[in-house]
């Protein structure tokens, strides 16, 4: 070891010793991370904050992402309906209703499953606000018992431009499903979102909760009565798994929210639809259905055994060391399903694993058997922790894949609003082509930090190119973040902020106001 390395090692030890005994607030400027633990409360806070940067419509006075402004205030006008609000899907300016509803379902599931933990972390109000921004839009989009608006904006036209949502001048084309042109996946997912959200608001806003449940029942009836696979958002979001998973998913949530036996009978009589799968995503909801209904199985409803068997098959497909392993991990330990936006599958899988491990623990079950391998609830949770920690910085790149968390994170997010100067600092319009030439092609970091955004993630070799043009790896989406909110909420009881490796010189620790 060189003399300089010894000196720097001693200096670092002294710094850490001082920080650990300090009571003057300096310790909060240290990276809250290690192979052992991260500041999960901070990660949760930022993951929820991300949704403010994705808002469409008229922004409230409480808006913390100050680089954003009002946008798309006439959405729905061609059909004389109000479709203002909701979320932009990813780094573009389109509102895709199907994945948006899935995002809302995941956020609501987290609010229901981890209500106490999130409340203790003082983030429950912000989470409910994020949910409501989505549910308000879904309520507006369901304009009649057999009509649901499923998309605002032409995806092809939008992707030809690189402009801020505040400047947007691409067509705000409207897409809808009706009894004559059904889209069961989109309607059923909207039903799931509203019923899950009705539980999230139960006891908080009873009138709103009741309204959500009523609309959810209407959407489910529409989805089930007029069956047909949804094609409206293709080629951007195409249904590959069919619509049976969404019908089961929405019926399960309706049973949870209403207690109505007819929804229980629906999932019971149609459990033959349930399949053993190895992914949980905006397209394939089977693992989510199975997780919900396995809890009912352990609660005494033994006629739902197929759901319990199928979700355990899902877990066995993911756990390293399982004799029925289907999804491998990278050399750095990350679950790897497919290359495009792989972290969506990591975060969603972790959410299922987290909820099921809690179910096992609450039911005093010692774990699950995967052939010759046995996994306890704590081992499953340890695996979740490894995945979450990888995302937050414990990986071969030594970087966080969440913007604004830690000392090193993506700087060239594939995101229009983040990559172009804010309308507040640059009020002149940035045209469609101007955005490409001046900002998309720039080698500079994005001028607006989209705090909390989780990117698509590294490649199969644990490598990440921080390039705006590499959308498969550098673009955030609402459903990546929504699932991460659930995964990290499961770890809140282990949250700690440790004085470790690097001084956090460039990390903002206060999420009240992001310029």
Domain boundaries, the chain: 40-503
Q: Nearest Cα to 499, choosing from 142, 144, 157, 26?
A: 26
Task: Evaluate the CA torsion angle 185, 187, 190, 191 in order and state its sign.
Answer: negative
Q: What is the pLDDT of residues 138-186, one digit of tens each?
A: 999 999 999 999 999 999 999 999 999 999 999 999 999 999 999 999 9
CA dist 511 and 449 (Å) reads 12
**Cα 57–chain centre separation:** 21
Average pLDDT over residues 367-375: 96
Q: What is the pLDDT of residues 400-456, one digit of tens each?
A: 999 999 999 999 999 999 999 999 999 999 999 999 999 999 999 999 999 999 999
From the candidates 39, 42, 158, 475, give the one annotated as an active-site residue. 475
Q: Nearest Cα to 43, choosing from 452, 419, 385, 483?
A: 452
CA dist 183 and 153 (Å) reads 18
CA dist 413 and 50 (Å) reads 13
Region 40-503: CATH code: 1.50.10.10
| Catalytic residue list contains 185 | no
| Catalytic residue list contains 466 | yes
From the candidates 414, 415, 450, 473, give the one annotated as an active-site residue. 414
- What is the structure's pLDDT at 496? 53
- What is the structure's pLDDT at 37? 72
What 3-state class would DSSP assign to 95?
A: strand
- What is the structure's pLDDT at 494? 83
Tokens for 373, please give them. 């391998």
Q: What is the pLDDT of residues 73-111, one digit of tens each?
A: 999 999 999 999 999 999 999 999 999 999 999 999 999
- Structural contact between residues 184 and 251, judged by C-beta atoms closer than 8 angstroms: no
- Side-chain half-sphere CA neighbours of 134 within 13 A: 39
pTM of the model: 0.90
């Amino acid at each position: 070891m060189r003399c300089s390395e010894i000196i720097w090692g001693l200096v670092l030890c002294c710094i850490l010793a001082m920080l650990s005994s300090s009571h003057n607030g300096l310790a909060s400027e240290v990276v809250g991370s290690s192979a052992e633990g991260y500041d999960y409360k901070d990660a949760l806070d930022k993951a929820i904050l991300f949704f403010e940067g994705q808002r469409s419509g008229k922004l409230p006075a409480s808006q913390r992402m100050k680089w954003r402004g009002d946008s798309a205030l006439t959405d729905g006008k061609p059909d004389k309906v109000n479709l203002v609000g909701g979320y932009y899907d990813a780094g573009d300016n389109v509102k895709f209703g199907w994945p948006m509803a899935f995002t809302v379902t995941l956020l609501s599931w987290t609010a229901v499953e981890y209500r106490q933990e999130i409340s203790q972390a003082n983030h429950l109000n912000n989470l409910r606000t994020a949910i409501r921004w989505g549910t308000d839009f879904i309520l507006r989009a369901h304009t009649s018992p057999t009509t649901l608006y499923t998309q605002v904006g032409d995806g092809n036209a939008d992707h030809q431009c690189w402009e801020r949502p505040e400047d947007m001048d691409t067509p705000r084309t409207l897409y809808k499903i009706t009894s004559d042109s059904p889209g069961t996946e989109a309607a059923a997912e909207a039903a799931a979102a509203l019923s899950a959200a009705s539980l999230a608001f139960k006891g908080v806003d009873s009138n709103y909760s009741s309204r959500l449940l009523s609309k959810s029942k209407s959407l489910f009836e529409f989805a089930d009565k007029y069956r047909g696979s949804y094609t409206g958002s293709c080629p951007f979001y195409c249904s590959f798994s069919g619509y049976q998973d969404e019908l089961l998913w929405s019926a399960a949530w309706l049973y949870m929210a209403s207690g109505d036996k007819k929804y229980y009978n629906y999932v019971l009589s149609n459990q033959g639809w349930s399949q053993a799968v190895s992914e949980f995503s905006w397209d394939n909801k089977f693992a989510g259905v199975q997780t919900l209904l396995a809890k009912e199985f352990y609660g005494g409803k033994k006629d739902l055994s197929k759901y319990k068997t199928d979700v355990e098959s899902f877990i066995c497909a993911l756990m390293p060391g399982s004799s029925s392993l289907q999804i491998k991990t990278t050399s750095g330990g990350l679950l790897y399903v497919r290359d495009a936006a792989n972290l969506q599958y990591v975060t969603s899988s972790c959410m299922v694993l987290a909820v099921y491990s809690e179910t096992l623990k609450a039911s005093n079950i010692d774990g699950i058997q995967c052939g010759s391998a046995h996994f306890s609830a704590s081992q499953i949770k340890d695996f979740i922790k490894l995945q979450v920690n990888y995302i937050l910085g414990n990986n071969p790149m030594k970087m966080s894949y969440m913007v604004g968390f830690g000392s090193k994170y993506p700087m060239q997010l594939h995101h229009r609003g983040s990559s172009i100067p804010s309308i507040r600092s640059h009020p002149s319009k940035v045209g469609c082509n101007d955005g490409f030439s001046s900002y998309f092609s720039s080698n500079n970091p994005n001028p607006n930090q989209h705090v909390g955004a989780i990117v698509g993630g590294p490649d199969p070799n644990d490598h990440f190119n921080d390039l705006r043009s590499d959308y498969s790896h550098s673009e955030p989406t609402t459903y990546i973040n929504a699932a991460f909110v659930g995964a990290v909420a499961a770890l809140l009881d282990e949250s700690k902020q440790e004085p470790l490796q690097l001084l956090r010189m460039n990390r903002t620790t206060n999420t009240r106001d992001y310029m």
